[in-house]
Structure 1
Amino acid sequence: MSKPYVVGIDIGGTNTVFGIVDARGSILATGSIKTQKYTEITDYVNALHEELSRLLAQENVTDQIAGIGIGAPNGNYFNGTIEFAPNLPWKGVIPLAQMVREKFNIPVTITNDANAAAIGEMTYGAARGVKDFIMITLGTGVGSGIVINGQMVYGHDGFAGELGHVIVRRGNGRLCGCGRTGCLEAYTSATGVARTAREFLELRNDESTLRQLPIQEITSKDVYDAAVSGDKLSQEIFEYTGTILGEAFADFIAFSSPKMIVLFGGLAKSGELIMRPIREAMEKNLLAIYKGKVKLVLSELKESDAAVLGASALGWEAS
């Protein structure tokens, strides 16, 4: 009988979360370690091995793990490496899949966090049975995973699908964390929404409840709360953000003709405040042959579980 469980590991800038998952996508148990605590990668892998081994023993499944999947910033599927990840404590190229494989003697696959989310959605979520879709993660940044004909698109080097870094404002665009200007991420991430709020407040005189907050401390959650309570300026910020996203989506559709675009992350939970302007701008800017064909849907994975589920779906691939 084949082994019934996989392990999913999600490496974030602050925490690393891991879980034991069965074929139905049920999480048997989870654990975590502090990513930032370990400045040496060998110390990190040792701590991960110790904590995960304890969890496997506790659940009595040590010999029943088919594979380990890892979702990580700048994770390279082809090489099994994390490469030059700006928010992780280890610099350069880290052969993480090999290091974890040697510790556990279990097959290991790694990819970037947005690709892991897409694979999770295809295995357990809204994209089950869908062969062509794009996953967009709207968090601190904007990530994406592109699936064509049931296959994740990795490109020749493992780094395909950086749609958050498509330039949507030429010339005088905002500086992005990647060092370029005008990227989609600089406008439509949670951070981008807060930047828009500051710009609107500084350049305009409209009344807004946001003016009661220290301008440099405004978050996307503040903008959402104000918009829901009827604040017109905050509603306009969502309109502006959703329009930029919808325009970008119309371009994305032109190159892969997906059946759906799946949205995930805190900003996606803003409901019609963000979905309506996205939908309208997308349809308005679509080439005629694509109009009315592409569904815009929210992720069906619970946010607290999504990262682990996405990574775990890679574990089946590794086995």
Structure 2
Amino acid sequence: MEKPYVVGIDIGGTNSVFGIVDARGTILCSDSVKTQAYDKVEDYVDAVCAKLLPLIESEGGAEKIKGIGVGAPNGNYYSGTIEFAPNLPWKGVIHLAELFEQRIGIPTALTNDANAAAIGEMTYGAARGMKDFIMITLGTGVGSGIVINGQMVYGHDGFAGELGHTIIRRENGRMCGCGRKGCLETYCSATGVARTAREFLIARSDESLLRNIPAEEISSKDVFDAAEKGDKLAQEIFEFTGHLLGEALADFVAFSSPEAIVLFGGLAKSGDYIMKPVEKALNDNVLNIFKGKAKLLVSELKDSDAAVLGASALGWEVKDLK
């Protein structure tokens, strides 16, 4: 009999959220632990299992679980490892999938968080039934998952699809956490929007509600709230951000001719402020043979559920343990 449930574990820099999910994408139960509270990865795995194992028992035990999927920063699908993740407390190469398999006895697969989001969107969300699409996650950074012919693109080493680190500004580009300058994520992430706000406020003298907030404390949510109140400067910040993102998406379309580009994350929920300039710049810059072909969609997964759902979708694909 087909096992009816999977487990999804999303490892964030601050919190790790996990839950049990059925085939329809319903999260039956969930819990979380603080990622940063555990300096040793073994202690972290113990802490997750202490909360996860009772959830598994409450849904009928391990024999009802097809697999465990883990989404993590710098996650390598091929090896089940997290490799040199700057925002996690464990350094170097961590064999996390193996640790969970040994501890729980359920086959476990791991990938990076943006790929997990793409798999979740394909399994439960806006990309259901699609074989070719690109997922762009607009959070603290810009992540991406590329699906071609129904398959996730991992490349030869497991790390393909770092579209957030394509360079969009060669001249005077912003410094990126990756050590290079001008990466897409320095402009089109939530952090990038806040940086743009600070730059605009320094360079210009027009009035803005954003001037009431200490510059270093401005967030992308503050920019959205100001735009909603009719603040012209805030609206121009979104215009600038959306234009750069749309130009970059036009290049990504040329790469894989996707049926759709799905945007996920808080910024994608900024409505027309971001979507209109993105769509215009995409249409203005895309190669003629691709014009009007790639749909621009916003994720259908609820923010609060998306991380667990994305990771859990990987659980349906895992092979049984030998």
TM category, shorter:
over 0.9
Partner of 2:195: 195
Amino acid at match of 1:209: L
Amino acid at match of 1:171: E
Partner of 1:10: 10
Q: Secondary structure at the match of 1:317?
A: coil
Unaligned stretches of 5+ residues in structure 2: none
Amino acid at match of 1:2: E
Supply the distance in 2 between the matched residues of 1:308 and 1:121 (Cα, whole angstroms).
12
Q: Superposed, which structure 2 residues align to 1:155-170 within 5 Å? A: 155-170=155-170
CA contact (8 A) 2:62 2:106 kept: no
Partner of 2:101: 101
Please state if 1:281 is matched with 2:281.
Answer: yes
Kindly state the Cα deviation for residue 48 of structure 1 after the two structures are TM-superposed. 1.3
Amino acid at match of 1:27: I
Kindly state the Cα deviation for residue 216 of structure 1 after the two structures are TM-superposed. 1.1
Q: Superposed, which structure 2 residues align to 1:71-150 within 5 Å? A: 71-150=71-150
Amino acid at match of 1:18: F
The two structures have a TM-score, normalised by structure 2, of 0.98
Kindly state the Cα deviation for residue 63 of structure 1 after the two structures are TM-superposed. 2.4
Supply the distance in 2 between the matched residues of 1:179 and 1:111 (Cα, whole angstroms).
23
Kindly state the Cα deviation for residue 50 of structure 1 after the two structures are TM-superposed. 1.5
Q: Secondary structure at the match of 1:25?
A: coil
Kindly state the Cα deviation for residue 209 of structure 1 after the two structures are TM-superposed. 1.1
Kindly state the Cα deviation for residue 31 of structure 1 after the two structures are TM-superposed. 0.8
Kindly state the Cα deviation for residue 196 of structure 1 after the two structures are TM-superposed. 0.2
Q: Secondary structure at the match of 1:63?
A: helix
Supply the distance in 2 between the matched residues of 1:44 and 1:207 (Cα, whole angstroms).
48
Supply the distance in 2 between the matched residues of 1:62 and 1:29 (Cα, whole angstroms).
15
Question: 1:171-215: CA deviations, max 9, x gaps?
Answer: 310001111100000000000000000000001111111111111
The two structures have a TM-score, normalised by structure 1, of 0.99
Q: Secondary structure at the match of 1:243?
A: helix
Amino acid at match of 1:59: E
Kindly state the Cα deviation for residue 314 of structure 1 after the two structures are TM-superposed. 0.2
Amino acid at match of 1:53: L
Kindly state the Cα deviation for residue 105 of structure 1 after the two structures are TM-superposed. 1.0
Partner of 2:259: 259
- Aligned residue-pair number: 319
Partner of 2:229: 229
Q: Secondary structure at the match of 2:248?
A: helix
Amino acid at match of 1:93: V
Q: Superposition RMSD on alpha carbons, in Å?
A: 0.7
Please state if 1:249 is matched with 2:249.
Answer: yes
Q: Secondary structure at the match of 1:318?
A: coil
Partner of 2:308: 308
Unaligned stretches of 5+ residues in structure 1: none
Partner of 2:181: 181
Kindly state the Cα deviation for residue 47 of structure 1 after the two structures are TM-superposed. 1.1
Partner of 2:52: 52
